[in-house]
């Protein structure tokens, strides 16, 4: 399907395990209309594709824009992606006939029913593209982005291009190992994800609560550490609660080690930190920065600020838009 | 200085802290003549440049090749290099007026006296280029190379090009962190270098000797662990000595963690392991492979063999040659 090079608009889609969000933007990334649907992630490719189209149609309707005015659709998918063939190599949260997606053609079915070119990438990679083109990284050429949440993902932009690796699997930032023999299971023992994901953060605070340390955070959850969330910990840290502050210090230490590794390896101009956990702002970013400074080569970290993401929930959508714009410019 | 695009020969130089080696090759990398000199690393830039030229002249003389037939000179320098400006940002083993090189112009003085274009890179980066073009990596586009020795260095080739980063400092593979809180001092605590360098290997074996474990290796050095070398440990491991085998297992574990990190991050087609320690062959490579397999994402490590370097001591020289050939082709 030919890319409509003269079309003034682009559709960006952020596919999550629960919801799919879409937007129509102009070529400068200004959102003209938005749509949303449930992902129906357990109901097979055809149903999920239908939901994506429903969200995209809603966005186009809201914008008053016709399909003929759209150059293409870019989409971030949470899983291992082979972008050239448009295949989902593995997506643990999406099911076809009761089985997780494995080597599942996805861009093709979507393209056929959308009636426009489709570009696909890993969701965290695509969010990095969004921050690179429209967000915190708009003034640099080379950056690493991390998204801190239930898992840890990210993307690597080198000289203006998303680095996807030899087989499309690059940028698995959560899977670099920073603490040999450390916490882990789903991701490797001692991996950045295992040491810095939400469950690691709440586990750290939970242990301190169970050590019966004096703490407002402990009182807030009435010693039921199952109620802990990064948001509650951040609120307590903002009020100076010692175990909340320590939890962020320790978490920032490990995340900073991962960033130090990437700075030493890739010498980027900037590291962007996004995802839900990053909403704690400097409470988490400062410990991260301190750890990266302490553990990276000085000349490399001196030239590489660590900044918060700017696009929030829109990074994925605008990254999808970027996939199409990259193709238009490429 | 203009690159002589029609010249059939190239000079490659490997500058070390003790010796400088040079060779003249044709454009296919066949060595036509070789030269060598001491580096006079403590005697200032002018003296060291003189020694480089002496080695290069000897190589050209041996080959019976005139300077006019040479397209350019490529050189690997052990330190932090700014390749575009030809400046040594920092080289701890080289001195000018009694001080370590810091932001020391180097390619310029060399170019002036050599009377030919000069291309410079970090020595481990340049060795990676050599293995990429002429050695173990000649059939792939994207690889990571590690050199295991007194320190751990390396280089990253992405889509056929050496990745040097935003400021020329990329590829500091020894400085990624794999074991939070681990061994270290010169390089960061728990860095790949600190955990896998020669002193870490001999230290592991020394501790086991001091635990009075039954071992031929212990007898070989008569319990004087200061005499331990990687070669002695490799010889003992080859004969099945348990503490020598354990030493390589434990070392391979940490090096494999570093490789797993790079495979998960960059998705290369191949990892090449060189340097003196790699001469132990599968005794060290098998534990490395096992650790990388156990800790990397399966689909990424499945498509990424870990192989020994092929060029031995010539990787640096042929990497220097590659710098010139890259410029000729670029």
The dotted CATH code for A139-309 is 3.30.420.40
CB-CB contact of A39 with A15 (8 Å) = yes
User: Nearest C-alpha of chain B: how many angstroms from A261?
Assistant: 4
Provide the mean pLDDT of chain B: 96
Overall size of chain A counted in residues: 330
Q: What is the mean pLDDT of residues A296-325?
A: 96
Which among A157, A161, A144, A159 is positioned nearest to A270, based on CA atoms? A144
What ipTM was predicted for this assembly? 0.93
Task: Choose among A90, A158, A188: nearest Cβ to B163.
Answer: A158
Q: What is the mean pLDDT of residues B27-41?
A: 97
User: Nearest C-alpha of chain B: how many angstroms from A169?
Assistant: 6
Q: What is the mean pLDDT of residues A47-76?
A: 97
pLDDT tens per residue, range B47-71 = 999 999 999 999 999 999 999 999 9
pLDDT tier at B261, thresholds 50, 70, 90 = very high
CB-CB contact of A127 with A157 (8 Å) = no
Q: What is the mean pLDDT of residues A149-176?
A: 94
Q: What tokens does A121 get?
A: 């990438």
Q: Which of B101, B177, B184 to mutate to test the interface with A (most CBs of A within 10 A)?
A: B177
CA distance B224 to B188: 28
Q: What is the pairing mode between strands A80-82 and A9-15?
A: unpaired
- Sequence-distant (6+) residues with CB within 8 A of B37 are B19, B20, B51, B52, B54, B55, B58
Q: Is the pLDDT of residue A303 over 90?
A: yes
Q: Scan for tokens 């010692």, then name that residue.
A: A242
pLDDT tier at B3, thresholds 50, 70, 90 = confident
Contacts of B141 in chain A (CB under 8 A): 166
pLDDT tens per residue, range A67-126 = 999 999 999 999 889 888 999 998 989 999 999 999 999 999 999 999 999 999 999 999
How would DSSP label each residue in B213-261? ---HHHHHTTT-GGG--HHHHHHHHHTT-HHHHHHHHHHHHHHHHHHHH
Instruction: Name the pTM for this structure.
Output: 0.94
Q: Is the pLDDT of residue A312 over 80?
A: yes
What are residue A191's DSSP bridge partners? A177
Interface contact A165-B296, CB threshold 8 A: no
What are the φ/ψ torsions at residue B122 (nearest 5 degrees)? Answer: -60, 140
CA distance B14 to B21: 5
pLDDT tens per residue, range B13-25 = 999 999 999 999 9
Overall size of chain B counted in residues: 330
Provide the mean pLDDT of chain A: 96
CATH architecture type of domain B140-309: 2-Layer Sandwich (3.30)
Equal fold, A9-132+314-329 vs A139-309: yes
* Chain B residue whose CA is closest to A144: B265
CB-CB contact of A303 with A269 (8 Å) = yes
**H/E run at residue A273:** strand A270-274
pLDDT tens per residue, range B76-117 = 999 889 888 999 999 989 999 999 999 999 999 999 999 999
- Sequence-distant (6+) residues with CB within 8 A of B87 are B81, B103, B104, B105, B106, B107
Q: Which of B266, B268, B288, B298 to mutate to test the interface with A (most CBs of A within 10 A)?
A: B266
Interface contact A177-B261, CB threshold 8 A: yes
Rounded to the nearest 10°, the torsion over CA A315, A321, A324, A325 is -90
Task: Choose among B178, B191, B266: nearest Cβ to A177.
Answer: B178
Domain ranges of chain B: 9-132+314-329, 140-309
Task: Choose among A140, A170, A299: nearest Cβ to B265.
Answer: A170
* 3 state DSSP class of A155: strand
Topology (CATH level 3) of domain B9-132+314-329:
Nucleotidyltransferase; domain 5 (3.30.420)
């Amino acid at each position: 399907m030919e890319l409509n090079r003269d079309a003034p608009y682009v559709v960006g889609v952020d596919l999550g395990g629960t919801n799919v969000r879409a937007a129509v933007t102009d070529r400068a990334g200004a959102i003209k209309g938005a749509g949303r649907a449930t992902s129906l992630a357990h109901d097979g490719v055809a149903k999920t594709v239908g939901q994506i189209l429903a969200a995209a149609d809603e966005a186009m309707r809201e914008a008053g824009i016709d399909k003929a005015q759209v150059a293409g659709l870019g989409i971030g998918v949470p899983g291992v992606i082979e972008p050239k063939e448009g295949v989902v190599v593995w997506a643990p949260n999406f099911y076809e006939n009761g089985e997780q997606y494995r080597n599942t053609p996805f861009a093709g079915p979507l393209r056929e029913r959308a009636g426009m070119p489709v570009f696909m990438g890993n969701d965290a990679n695509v969010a990095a593209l969004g921050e690179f083109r429209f967000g915190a990284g708009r003034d640099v050429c080379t950056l690493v982005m991390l998204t801190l949440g239930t898992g840890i993902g990210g993307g690597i932009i080198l000289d203006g291009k998303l680095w996807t690796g030899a087989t499309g699997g690059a940028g698995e930032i959560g899977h670099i190992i920073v603490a040999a023999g450390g916490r882990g299971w789903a991701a490797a023992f001692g991996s950045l994800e295992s040491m810095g994901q939400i469950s690691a953060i709440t586990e750290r605070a939970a242990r301190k609560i169970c050590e019966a340390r004096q703490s407002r955070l402990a009182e807030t959850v009435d010693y039921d550490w199952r109620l802990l969330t990064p948001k509650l910990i951040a609120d307590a840290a903002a009020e100076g609660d010692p175990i909340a502050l320590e939890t962020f210090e320790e978490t920032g230490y490990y995340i900073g080690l991962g960033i130090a590794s990437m700075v030493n390896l890739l010498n980027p101009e900037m590291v962007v930190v996004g995802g839900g956990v990053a909403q704690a702002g400097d409470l988490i970013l400062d410990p991260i920065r301190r750890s990266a400074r302490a553990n990276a080569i000085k000349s490399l970290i001196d030239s590489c600020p660590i900044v918060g993401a700017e696009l929030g929930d829109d990074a994925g959508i605008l990254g999808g838009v970027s996939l199409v714009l990259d193709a238009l410019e490429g």
